[in-house]
Amino acid sequence: MLINREQQRVIDEVEQNILLLASAGTGKTNTLAYRVAHLIEGGYAKAENILCMTFTNKAANEMKDRIQSLVGSPAKAVEISTFHSFCFFVLQQEGKRNETLYTDVTIFDEEDCKELSEPYRPGKLREMSFANIIGMVKEYRSLYGFYSDDLVGDYKRTIDRLQKEQRPAIEQQFSSFGNVLYSELHDFLNHGHEWIAAYDENLASVHGLDFTDLICGVHRLFQDPVVRERWSSRYSYISVDEMQDTGVLEYKVLEMLWEGNHVLLCGDYFQTIYEWRGSDPFRLLKQFDADFKPLKIIFYENYRSNWTLFTMAFKTLQNMFPDLVGSIYTELPRANSERKGKPVLIKGCKNSYLEGRYIYEAICALPKDANIGVLVRDNKKAQRLSDSFERLNNEKAEDERRHFMIIDEFKFFRRQEIKDVMAYFKLLMNPNDSVSAKRIIKRYVAGIGDARIAAIESPETRQVGLKLTDFMDMPIFEAEPYAKLVSGLENHEVVVYDVESTGTDTSQDRIIQIAAIRIDENGQVLETFERFINPGVPVGQSEEVHGFSDAYLKEHGEEPAIVLQAFKEFSKNAIIVGHNVNYDVTIFTNELARHNLGNPEFKAIYDTLDIYRRFYPNLPNHKLGFLASEFPINHEPTHNAMDDILATSQLLIYAVKENIVPTTTGRMVAINKYKAAFTNIASQMATLRRKAYTELPTQLLAYIMNQMGVLEYYKSHGEVAKVEHIRDLYRIMEKLDAAYEGPAGLARLNQILQMAALTAGEPAQQVRNEDRIPIITIHQAKGSEFDHVFLAGLNEGTFPSPFAIAEGREDEEKRLFYVAITRPKQELTITFEQTNIRGRAVQPSSLLNYMPRDPELVERRY
């Protein structure tokens, strides 16, 4: 790659913060990759101390590939991720310390979240609007800093303040065809705080987080100076791409990482197309400029498009935003290529049918291997074009047809059949995921209807400590769920334990203390185990949490294998109990594996966090410290492992005596009433769980399809196309599995689930029929490029969107148009209809008026 002057400045600058303004096609990704290579090879930073944020997973993968091609294996240590992926990583890492966040937490996309929020949605309010208002309240709770243990109160304060300061924004979500739904709005203003808190509790009960929780959760964690310092000191060089699409709360989270580090923000004012999601680039970049005094660098040279396309796009931009363009660019941008291409063609077609035919025939005139994209403003237009192309294909011989792929709002991982199959995997990783359990039951399990599910999820059943997911697991068929715990206390088999470690990554960090007590039925301590380990690695910042220094562990710590083996013997055939115990079990299991000591030999595992969430779902929170103050126990947890387990043991005894034993009969009645219907699926899930520890994800998928009745279901329902999509999933999993380098077993599967959740909002991966031509919205096309672009549906009333105009977002529609016309490298064709479906005349988009009148740049045929 030839490096120009501005790019070289970005690569070489290692001291100052940088504000980089880089428009489409200016070589930004390559430049950032070369900069990272320069930082590593020049010794300015270790790879693990470099953080690169991108807007999409596609961009993250491109960045990884380019850096790896430059520096090889060290690139793997560079943290390259989307903002949501980074937040999820932080929450997972901090799960042990944040006691109310389960360490097996999973991400629920908006489709899954509908299930959990639907009971509270006002009748006439659209699902999307309700999701938006929930997200808005959650974000503003964080922005207002309303963090207390009273979740309902926090949300009430937030909504009351929003009502005063953001009333128009709230009313916008309660609008239907231009009219405000005042009855629904009134209900929300009076009860919305209760609804959102109940929705949050539903999420917590299934060990889930929504996308807003990822940001809000990290923002809250970073309020703690110790946590914030732990993460900001982890990195020395941070770059954030597509900064113009960052929301205010996202910016505040990032800002807390920047102090003392070298920061590069990269963006383009004119590609801001997510203001409706809360991005505010002018304000945020101005704030960055004031706070960090960055070096401003502008990329002027365009490498993507030929001279004609580049000149057309820039002149259009000048016409749309003359003052802003003049204030940003101190010199005129230029095309690197002097090669001229065809003028942009704007073609008026008599009607929608002829528009589709014109585009189809123009595509057929291009070589079959041409790189083509069909761009539209909305999915409705995409669907109409797809239908037209399908009809036109039927007029041609098979070898002359062109195949298209519509990339709709739901994308690959949001297809019903993909979500249904992925539900099996999600339930494997998170046995509390009732949303996935219901998906499986409703689609593939005969004899369990909505009435039975509702009965199991009723308050009466929940009051005896049962959940739907309990019936998807074999233990409930073998004994009453708490029988082993109660008898274990009587037989003195219960061991309450906790570990302290060098960090919160269960696969990488090391245990430094194991503390455990064996107790009787009254909570009396019968036997104590407390040993320290010299981990052989520095404890780092974890010392601030547990208080044990490297020097202390060197003096008092033993060899890891000796202590681990000793605790394995101490806990053999024990009933293990802990608060958020999954972390402690997982890291202990991984440590045993690291030292070739086999697996733990526990008889059963119980979590006091889960117990108290079941029996006391409406508490403000379920942290160990809060529970210790709320219930009549006489021991205070301190984050020392021994102190924490003494408090946990007393909470356990209280719950057993007050909740578990008194509800035993009611629990058995409910189990006997419902369990027969679940026998087969529970047995299948047990087999799947066993396989998950040894088999590849693709093998698990084959078992689900062939042995658990999924393939037979789709064949019997005549839905063979859905089977093809599941085969696509198999191919994706195959590719991911080949690239995966972590530990085998469930960790491998978890990586795939994270990818599915975090890419659910991105365009589908083309895993078969790679020659299919995408029909894609402009929002989805951002970051993509094609040799030939057909931009369809440029009619007034369609593009610009009438909703955007009504909401005063006309400038955003202009920027969206600019994004569209900067996607092609060789040729651009723009089409519109002249009459609508009723035969009435319709106007071309007013956006076309901003395009230059020079016939060398734009040809108009209408």
In a domain, 459, yes or no: yes
Angular region, 276: left φ>0, alpha ψ -120 to 50, beta rest:
alpha
Nearest one of 320, 308, 205, 671 to 474, comparing CA atoms? 671
CATH number of the domain where residue 617 is located: 3.30.420.10
Read off the pLDDT of each residue in 519-541 and give the average, rounded to a whole number: 92
Listed in sequence order, the residues at least 6 apart from 436 whose beta carbon sits closer than 8 Å to its beta carbon are 112, 422, 423, 424, 426, 427, 430
Structure token pair of residue 205: 């009960």
| Rounded distance between C-alpha atoms, residue 158 and residue 605, angstroms | 39
Provide the residue range defining the domain that includes 284: 5-93+219-299
Per-residue pLDDT, 153: 94
Q: Does 180 have pLDDT greater than 70?
A: yes
254 in Cβ contact with 235 (< 8 Å): no
From 299, 327, 358, the end of a domain falls on: 299
What's the first-to-final CA gap in the chain, in angstroms? 42
Same domain, 510 and 584: yes
Alpha-carbon radius of gyration of the chain: 29
Residue 764 has pLDDT above 50, yes or no: no
Same domain, 398 and 316: yes
* 114 burial level (CB within 10 Å; 0-12, 13-18, 19+): middle
Q: What is the pLDDT of residue 741?
A: 67
Same domain? 344 vs 261: no
Q: Which of 325, 272, 328 is nearest to 809 (CA)?
A: 272
Q: Tell me whether residue 470 is in a domain.
A: no
Identify the weakest region by mean pLDDT among 182-191, 238-247, 514-523, 661-670. 238-247
Whether residue 87 sits in one domain with residue 77: yes
Q: Which residues are known binding-site members for ATP? A: 22-29
Nearest one of 530, 360, 498, 437 to 206, comparing CA atoms: 437
Tokens of 29: 């990704």
pLDDT at residue 769, rounded to an integer = 42
Q: Give the residue with greater pLDDT, 391 vs 331.
A: 391
Which of 623-627, 695-699, 858-862 holds the top average pLDDT? 858-862
In a domain, 678, yes or no: yes
Neighbours of 92 (CB within 10 A): 19
Q: Tell me how many domains the chain contains.
A: 5
User: Mean pLDDT across the chain, nearest whole number?
Assistant: 88
d(CA 786, CA 764): 17
In this prediction, residue 245 has a pLDDT band, given cuts at 50, 70 and 90, of confident
Task: Return the pLDDT at 507.
Answer: 74
CATH number at residue 850: 3.40.50.300
By the 10 Å C-beta count (0-12 exposed, 13-18 middle, 19+ buried), 519 is classed as: buried
- Domain end among 241, 273, 299: 299
Write out pLDDT tens, residues 787-820: 999 999 999 999 998 877 877 788 889 999 999 9
With contact defined as beta carbons under 8 Å apart, do 45 and 39 qualify? yes
> How far is Cα of residue 549 from the mean position of the Cα atoms in its chain?
36
The reply to whether omega before 800 is within 30° of 0 (cis) is yes
Query: Is 766 within a domain?
Result: no
CB under 8 Å to 598, separation ≥6 — which residues?
Answer: 568, 592
> What pLDDT, on the 0 to 100 scale, is given for residue 683?
92
Confidence of residue 102 (pLDDT cuts 50, 70, 90): low
Q: Please give, one letter per residue, the 3-state secondary structure of 827-844.
A: EEEEEEECECCCCCECCE
Binding site: what residues are annotated?
22-29
Say whether both 175 and 312 belong to one domain: no
Quick one: 717 and 687 in the same domain?
A: yes
**Which of 244, 276, 299 is where one domain is finished?**
299
Look at residue 709 and tell me if it is in a domain: yes
555: Cβ–Cβ under 8 A, 6 or more apart, which residues? none
| Tens digits of residue pLDDT in 322-340 | 998 888 888 888 888 888 9
Cα–Cα distance, 33 to 39 (Å, whole number): 10
Q: What is the pLDDT of residues 27-76, one digit of tens each?
A: 888 899 999 999 999 999 999 999 998 877 778 888 888 898 998 888 88
d(CA 515, CA 231) in angstroms, rounded, equals 28
CATH number at residue 716: 1.10.486.10
Same domain? For 547 and 632 the reply is yes
Task: Note whether 288 and 398 are same-domain residues.
Answer: no
Asked whether residue 737 falls in the same domain as residue 804, the answer is no
Whether residues 424 and 383 fall in one domain: no
Backbone angles phi, psi at 27, to 5 degrees: 80, 25
In whole angstroms, what separates CA 91 from the centre of its chain?
12
* Alpha helices, DSSP H, located in 595-623: 608-615
pLDDT at 742: 63
Give the span between the Cα atoms of 713 and 566, in whole angstroms.
Answer: 50
Q: Give the pLDDT confidence score for residue 770 in this predicted structure.
A: 52
In sign, the C-alpha dihedral spanning 404, 407, 410, 413 is positive
| Ramachandran quadrant class, 566 (left: phi over 0; alpha: psi -120 to 50; beta: rest) | alpha
Residue 766's pLDDT band (cuts 50, 70, 90) = very low
pLDDT at 759: 65
Residue 333 forms part of a structural domain = yes
DSSP per-residue codes, 181-218: -HHHHHHHHHHHHHHHHHHHHHHHHTTEE-HHHHHHHH
Q: Does 724 lie in the same domain as 847?
A: no
More confident residue, 729 or 563: 563
Q: How confident is the model at residue 517 (pLDDT cuts 50, 70, 90)?
A: very high
511 and 443 housed in the same domain? no
Alpha helices in 394-508 (DSSP H): 416-429, 434-444, 450-456, 459-463, 475-478, 483-490
Q: What does each C-alpha distance from 195 to 155, 162, 183, 202 come to in angstroms?
A: 10, 16, 16, 10
pTM of the shown model: 0.80
Give the Cα separation of 357 and 374 in Å (integer): 13
> Per-residue DSSP letters for 348-393?
EESSHHHHHHHHHHHHHTS-TT--EEEEESSHHHHHHHHHHHHHHH
Judge whether 129 lies within some domain.
Answer: yes
Answer yes or no: is pLDDT of 424 > 80. Answer: yes
Looking at the chain, the number of H-run helices and the number of E-run strands are: 39, 24
> Is the residue at 667 inside a domain?
no
Q: Are 769 and 733 a contacting pair, CB within 8 Å?
A: no
